[in-house]
Amino acid sequence: MEIEDFERYSEIITNWIANHYREIRNFPVLSQVKPREIFDSLPTNPPEEPEPFEKIFEDFQNIIFKGVTHWQHPRFFAYFPANTSFPSILAEFLTSALGIQAMMWITSPSAAELEEKVMDWLKKMMHLSENFHGVIQDTASTSTLVAILTAREKATDFEINKNGFSNQKFTVYCSEEAHSSIEKAVKIAGIGSNNLRKIPVDENFSMKTDLLEQAIKEDVQNGFKPICIVGAFGTTGSTAVDPLEQIGEIANRYGIWYHIDGAMVGSALILPEFQHYLKGINTADSFVFNPHKWLFTNFDCSAFFVKDKRALLETFQLTPSYLATDFDQQVNNYRDWGIQLGRRFRALKLWFVLRSFGIKGLQDKLRYHISLAKQLEKEIRSDCRFEILAPVNFNTICFRYKPTDANLTDSELNEINKNLLDKINASGFAFLSHTTLKNKFTLRFSIGQTNTTSEDVLNTWKLIQNLVGR
């Protein structure tokens, strides 16, 4: 492709994107293709000869597009938002055009210094403790793995890094509602999933801290070494918040690394009305949240904060001679702050977003989403055929259909609600997902796409009411 072609085609693509966002409500949110449909519509062999852009783009529109589930559809209410915004998309154009590797300062000083700057900005916006150091990781899963590896190394004076495992057994703690990425990290870090203690939760799905302390004591008596507690600031199931401050006290008392997973809900710390959580957050050794979930920044962009920078670097630093530079004492080489060597220039899109929205613009958006959640909660509560299954703390509503006239068991209700969810999603009008809370099949309605309106939420609620009949 010549540069003149690139000029022409990029205009075609930009127009297509703008049009796509204009028309996005016309497409089914959940892709309606069958398994293997896309794979089977594509040629068995790669092309021998070059193909024209027009042909490739046509196939994108005719084949690929119908297999896309529209995360940027304003009626995408499944899982969690992975919202984006035009400033973020434009910055991603530039990032891909520059095509840099942000592995160390010298490989692009702007990438390293902008990363430090935007992470400082986030810290200020959220009033995080001054002694946190920020770095952008690809995902919360990676951030949590990095935290647990650092915790393991700090607890063993960096012994496993050097000599591998001895006979010592380690334990990690989280609530039974914690995200699966914690168990995954515990597996990969060589701690073993049987040594992850999933502490029971109370009626609000928050960790019971007396049981946490009891588990730690028992483990110590039985010769285990507790190395990390993971607190949840917004569980995936119901956005429950663990008693963050009390966990901090326990972690402090027993000298255990304290990591807080705020993957989606962490963004809410930019709002003064959620600042009461800060005291707990600031007791942590590390904290992660994803601007790529609920802060209008394209995936991937995970903000990871850690207090003991020395422990982090000692866990991950390795400087072969071909990577040593004269500036290593004065700058951040982010390859030493995590697992990857090659890294994307992720700070650029976050910078575009923070500047384009401003703190006020971001706050307005989040408050709007939260107000929509409250509005929907009220609607659901006023229809006696439905019940709310967890406190609505932020932007996510957990509920189920439960007709009052019939005397149905939980397992019958689970079946009915699963069918209801399938019908909602097959309609293409909206996309919701589910979880299980106290053995109840639960519909989750998570509000956070950038352009979602009150109409999107209320029309989806009407659809649900119509599907269960009058």
Contacts to ligand PLP by CB under 6 A? 80, 139-141, 179, 181, 234, 236, 261, 263-264, 290, 302
- Answer yes or no: are the C-beta atoms of 445 and 433 closer than 8 Å: no
- For ligand PLP, the closer of residues 92 and 261 by Cβ is 261
Of 232 and 413, which has the nearer Cβ to ligand PLP? Answer: 232
When the beta carbons of 85 and 236 are compared against ligand PLP, the nearer one is 236
The CB-of-263 to ligand PLP minimum distance in angstroms stands at 3
Q: Which is nearer to ligand PLP, 242 or 456 (CB)?
A: 242
Least distance in Å: CB of 199 to ligand PLP? Answer: 16
Nearer to ligand PLP, 282 or 396 (CB): 396
Q: How near is the Cβ of 300 to ligand PLP at its closest, in Å?
A: 7
Minimum CB separation of residue 266 from ligand PLP in Å reads 9
Say which amino acid occupies 25: R
* Smallest separation (angstroms) from ligand PLP to the CB of 223: 30
Min dist. Cβ of residue 116 to ligand PLP (A): 21
Q: How far is the CB of 262 from ligand PLP (least distance, A)?
A: 7
Min dist CB 19 to ligand PLP, Å, is 29
- What residues contact residue 441 under an 8 Å CB cut-off, 6+ apart? 400, 413, 414, 415, 417, 418, 434
Please name which of 447, 140, 455 lies closest in space to residue 294, comparing C-alpha atoms: 447
Q: Do residues 424 and 430 make contact, with C-beta atoms less than 8 angstroms apart?
A: yes
Separation between Cα atoms, residue 416 and residue 261, nearest integer Å:
33
**At its nearest, how many Å lie between ligand PLP and the CB of residue 323?**
27
Pairing of strands 257-261, 286-289: parallel
Residue 196 or residue 416: which is nearer to ligand PLP going by CB? 196
171 vs 290 by CB, closer to ligand PLP: 290
Minimum Å distance from CB 350 to ligand PLP?
Answer: 15
Beta bridge partners of 196: 172
Residue number, 294 or 386, with CB nearest to ligand PLP: 294
* Residue nearer to ligand PLP on the CB measure, 302 or 427: 302
Closest to ligand PLP by CB, 427 vs 442, is 442
Asked if residues 24 and 83 have their Cβ atoms less than 8 Å apart, the reply is no
